[in-house]
């Protein structure tokens, strides 16, 4: 069903956030104080801090639901111990989410809800009202290659820039309630056309592309014979793990206990983890079944484009380009993937 559409002025958008902030925390992209020109998802102190045309943040908005390090529960050393679940997330608004990041949240919804489903992620997810916003690509974005360009999944309200403000698509009653706090107008044909042109321009301006669709990429990874390309990539990689920790579709984690100083109480924590780190696949007896860096590099591509694609029906890459922006070794996911594609096609031609 087509969503209800309304137009809100540019000032009206800020008014909407201001209204929401009276009742709830609002997390949205704002300029980083420590790095002017860069943006991050942070709790807004004032509505004016919201930057509607921000460039992709370093960390994805998944951190609003799953912090890089978070407490699962507290324990005591009593007999029997007292265990208490900890959830520091309250109802909040997550605003200014690009379509690729909506896709990222949706990918994690799917992964964490596979039976046996975990409760933690969906419980926190259910607390948020999500406002999406359309964007323009930079040199690293390639969402049109992985089908996330138009994602509206999991958002309550979605905004697209038009000449006289924003065209708001209303997807849920929560989105409707937010929008109802400010003055809106029925969209005219011009508004609808503006929004369509925005989407067309977005695709036209995309410079990075995967040379095959996710289905073909999965097939060629499965076919294998790419060892020298894994090796080449691994020779440049530092195994720093930044490509995982910045990724909206990565969801691996570690768990460990911490006592507090009294040694009478403590917490179990979980923290984001990365399959590129050497210790990730360590097993008993210090054996490591991904000891070699090329095995870890290969695992990253396989997991994103083959294993999870086969298991859950979608590539675990949203085309956001964060991993390539973050990589100190300048390993670009699009370039590497295209090299894999080119090699596989050449090999197929010779066969």
Partner 1 sequence: MPDRLVRAPYPMTKVFYRPALAQVLRVDQLTQSENLLALRMGTGEPLNHEPGQFVQVSLFGYGEAPISICSSPKGKEGFEICVREVGTVSGAIHDLEPGDWIGIRGPYGRGFPVVELEGKDVLIVAGGIGMAPLRSLVGHIRDNRRRYGRIIVVYGAKNPAAILFKNDLKVWFEDEGIELYVTVDSPDESWTGRSGVVTSIIRDLDLGSSASMNAVVVGPPVMYRFVAMELFRHGLTEDRIIFSLERRFKCGIGKCGHCQVNDLYVCRDGPVFRYSELLGRSEAVEVWAPEEQ
Ligand X SMILES: Cc1cc2nc3c(=O)[nH]c(=O)nc-3n(C[C@H](O)[C@H](O)[C@H](O)COP(=O)(O)OP(=O)(O)OC[C@H]3O[C@@H](n4cnc5c(N)ncnc54)[C@H](O)[C@@H]3O)c2cc1C
Residues of span 246-265 touching ligand SF4 by CB under 6 A: 246-249
Q: How far apart are CA 327 and CA 315, in angstroms?
A: 21
The only residue of 40, 62, 290, 296 in contact with partner 1, by rule CB under 8 A: 290
Q: How far apart are CA 98 and CA 159, in angstroms?
A: 10
The only residue of 20, 105, 210, 315 in contact with partner 1, by rule CB under 8 A: 20
Q: Which does 286 bind (CB under 5 to 8 A by kind): ligand SF4, ligand X, partner 1, none?
A: ligand X
Smallest distance, partner 1 to C-beta of residue 46, A: 19
Q: How far apart are CA 111 and CA 272, in angstroms?
A: 15
| CA-closest candidate to residue 290, choices 306, 275, 305, 302 | 275
The only residue of 21, 111, 320, 336 in contact with partner 1, by rule CB under 8 A: 111
The only residue of 34, 116, 286, 351 in contact with partner 1, by rule CB under 8 A: 116
User: Which residues between 224 and 263 bind partner 1 (CB under 8 A)?
Assistant: 251-257, 259, 263
Q: Are 179 and 8 in contact (CB under 8 A)?
A: yes
- Establish if 276 lies at the interface with partner 1 (CB under 8 A): no
Q: Are 167 and 192 in contact (CB under 8 A)?
A: yes
User: Which residues between 79 and 108 bind partner 1 (CB under 8 A)?
Assistant: 79-81, 83, 85, 91, 93
Q: Are 170 and 197 in contact (CB under 8 A)?
A: no
- Establish if 117 lies at the interface with partner 1 (CB under 8 A): yes
- Establish if 327 lies at the interface with ligand SF4 (CB under 6 A): yes
Q: How far apart are CA 151 and CA 137, in angstroms?
A: 15
Sign of CA dihedral 263, 267, 271, 276: positive
Q: Can you give the binding site for ligand SF4, defined by CB under 6 A?
A: 237-243, 246-249, 276, 304, 317-323, 326-329, 331, 333
């Amino acid at each position: 069903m087509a969503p209800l559409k309304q137009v809100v002025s540019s000032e009206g958008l800020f008014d909407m956030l201001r209204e929401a902030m009276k009742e709830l925390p609002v997390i949205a992209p704002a300029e980083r104080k420590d790095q002017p020109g860069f943006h991050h998802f942070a709790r807004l102190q004032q509505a004016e801090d919201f930057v509607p045309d921000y460039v992709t943040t370093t960390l994805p908005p998944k951190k609003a639901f799953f912090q890089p390090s978070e407490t699962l529960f507290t324990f005591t050393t009593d007999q029997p111990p007292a265990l208490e679940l900890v959830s520091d997330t309250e109802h909040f608004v997550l605003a200014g989410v690009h379509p690729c990041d909506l896709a990222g949240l949706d990918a994690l919804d799917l992964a964490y809800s596979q039976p046996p489903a975990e409760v933690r992620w969906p419980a926190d997810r259910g607390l948020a009202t999500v406002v999406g916003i359309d964007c323009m690509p930079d040199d690293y974005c390639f969402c049109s290659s992985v089908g996330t360009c138009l994602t509206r999944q999991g958002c309550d309200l979605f905004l697209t820039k038009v000449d006289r403000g924003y065209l708001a698509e209303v997807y849920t009653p929560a989105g409707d309630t937010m929008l109802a706090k400010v003055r809106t107008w029925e969209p005219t044909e011009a508004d609808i056309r503006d929004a369509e042109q925005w989407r067309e321009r977005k695709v036209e301006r995309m410079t990075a592309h995967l040379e095959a669709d996710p289905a073909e990429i999965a097939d060629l990874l499965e076919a294998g014979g790419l060892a020298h390309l894994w090796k080449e990539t691994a020779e440049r990689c530092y195994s720093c793990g930044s490509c995982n920790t910045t990724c909206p579709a990565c969801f691996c984690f570690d768990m460990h206990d911490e006592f507090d100083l009294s040694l009478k109480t403590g917490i179990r924590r979980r923290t984001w983890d990365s399959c590129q780190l050497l210790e990730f696949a360590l097993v008993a007896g210090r054996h490591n079944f991904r000891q070699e860096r090329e095995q870890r590099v290969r695992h990253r591509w396989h997991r994103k484009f083959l294993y999870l694609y086969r298991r859950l029906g979608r590539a675990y890459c949203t085309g956001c380009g964060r991993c390539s922006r973050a990589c100190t070794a300048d390993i670009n996911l699009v370039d590497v993937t295209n090299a894999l594609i080119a090699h596989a096609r050449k090999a197929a031609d010779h066969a």
